[in-house]
């Protein structure tokens, strides 16, 4: 996919390299509402044409969006791939963080609800047994770094 990664063995760094800029994430967010044409993205986001062209091309090249021609053959629409749809949890997590930390108490903001109008549960990482996890209760296994207790070779 890329010749240079910010941190080649870190999934967070690779994800940020692929979709971590402001416009890419907002395009993905808007694509979650369904297929959209270039002009729809531009209108909703207020993004410059050249930047939108670049971000859409990168998202298609990285398999996050796909493009198809609508009947009549003049317009292309962009739609999330399965990989793009997998970003839903990330977008919800960013939204929920923003609701808690990016708005003053009582400040109006949009709300994501399910099809019945109900609010979403707060996303919380959990282990396979359902126990809640935090940064303090997890660790990263780094590539090429021996684990404590591993035999020296």
pTM of the entire predicted model: 0.85
Q: Report pLDDT for 3.
A: 63
Compute CA distances 80 → 6, 55, 65, 88, 140, whole Å: 25, 14, 4, 10, 30
Between residues 36 and 153, the one the model is more confident about: 36
User: Which domains does the chain possess?
Assistant: 11-137 (1.10.10.10)
| pLDDT tens per residue across span 2-52 | 568 888 899 999 999 999 899 999 999 999 999 999 999 999 999 999 999
CA dihedral 138, 143, 146, 151 (to 10 degrees): 120
Which tokens in the block code for residue 146? 């021996």
8: helix, strand or coil? coil
pLDDT value at residue 74? 80
> Do β-strands 76-80 and 65-69 pair in parallel, antiparallel, or remain unpaired?
antiparallel
Q: What is the pLDDT of residues 75-106, one digit of tens each?
A: 889 999 999 999 999 999 999 999 999 999 99
């Amino acid at each position: 996919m890329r010749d240079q990664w910010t941190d080649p063995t870190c999934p967070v760094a690779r994800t940020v390299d692929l979709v971590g800029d402001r416009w890419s994430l907002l395009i993905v967010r808007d694509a979650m509402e369904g297929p959209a044409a270039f002009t729809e993205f531009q209108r909703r986001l207020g993004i410059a044409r050249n930047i939108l062209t670049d971000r859409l091309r990168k998202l298609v090249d990285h398999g996050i969006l796909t493009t198809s021609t609508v009947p009549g053959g003049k317009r292309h629409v962009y739609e999330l791939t399965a990989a793009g749809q997998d970003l839903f949890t990330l977008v919800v997590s960013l939204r929920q963080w923003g609701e808690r930390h990016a708005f003053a108490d009582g400040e109006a903001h949009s709300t994501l609800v399910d099809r019945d109008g109900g609010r979403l549960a707060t996303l919380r990482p959990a282990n396979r047994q359902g126990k809640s996890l935090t940064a303090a209760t997890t660790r990263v296994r780094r590539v090429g770094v021996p684990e404590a207790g591993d035999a020296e070779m």
